Amino acid sequence: MAQTKTGKSKQKKFSVRVDFTPMVDMNMLLITFFMLCTTLSKPQTMEISMPSNDDKITDEQKSKVKESLAVTLLLDGDNKLYFYEGIPNWEDPNALKETTYDANGLRAFLIQKNARVVNRVRELKVQKRNLQITPEQYDAQVKELKNGKNTPTVIIKATDEATYKNLIDVLDEMQICNIGKYVIVPIADTDKQLIQAATTGL
């Protein structure tokens, strides 16, 4: 400690330098540890039923669905979404109903239409969470429920004005509402006429 002319001691100031080099090695070890110990997420797939290419099946057989369980979705431009149940009266513009892509629109309608399966799947989720059934048993029972009898069949048709996002949103709702039977088919001229009649009132 040095003495000044006035007799007071003057402390020396030392510069403090922290070496972070060892932290690099520590970070690399931690990253490696978490990479090895973390379970990688499995890729999720979406099952889509496409029209059959079998030449022996007639167009009438391809489109033959139990009328009371059939729901046809019509995707149009400007995020417009229409639907009808069964076989509509093509001359009645009121046969086509408009809905939305949000939870209070298409989702609410499909959950109501598929209420039995939706409620049963919720029960199975609780059983799986409580370890009463295995994940394999859960998947098998859900698949059987979704493809069982008296479950709705959704027919998806899109106009040229509909967007790719519209189609993805509808397919997401199929998974959320546990719809096991759905198909994407080209839109018919009668469907276009229904949309035109519904929008113009003619």
- If one counts the domains in the chain, the total is 1
Q: Would residue 155 count as lying in a domain? A: yes
Residue 15 lies in a domain: no
Over residues 81-104, the mean pLDDT reads 86
What's the confidence (pLDDT) of residue 87? 82
- H helices of 7-158, in order, are 21-37, 59-62, 108-113, 115-129, 135-146
In a domain, 16, yes or no: no
Task: Provide the residue range defining the domain that includes 160.
Answer: 59-200
pLDDT recorded at residue 155: 92
Q: Is 179 part of a structural domain of the chain?
A: yes
Predicted structure pTM score: 0.65
Task: Provide the token pair at 152.
Answer: 């709705």
The model's pLDDT over 173-192, given as tens digits with 9 standing for 90+, comes to 999 999 988 999 999 898 88
Please check whether residue 25 lies inside any domain of the structure. Answer: no
Nearest to 83 by CA among 146, 157, 151, 152: 157
- Checking if the pLDDT of 109 tops 80, the result is yes
> With contact defined as beta carbons under 8 Å apart, do 200 and 137 qualify?
no
The runs of H, that is alpha helices, within the chain are 21-37, 59-62, 108-113, 115-129, 135-146, 164-176, 189-200
**Does 159 score more than 80 pLDDT?**
yes
Tens digit of pLDDT for each residue in 44-74? 555 554 544 555 545 555 445 567 788 999 9
Confidence of residue 148 (pLDDT cuts 50, 70, 90): confident
Buried/exposed 32-60: b ≥16 CB within 10 Å, e otherwise: eeeeeeeeeeeeeeeeeeeeeeeeeeeee
Q: Would residue 5 count as lying in a domain? A: no
163 domain residue, yes or no: yes
Any domain includes 7: no
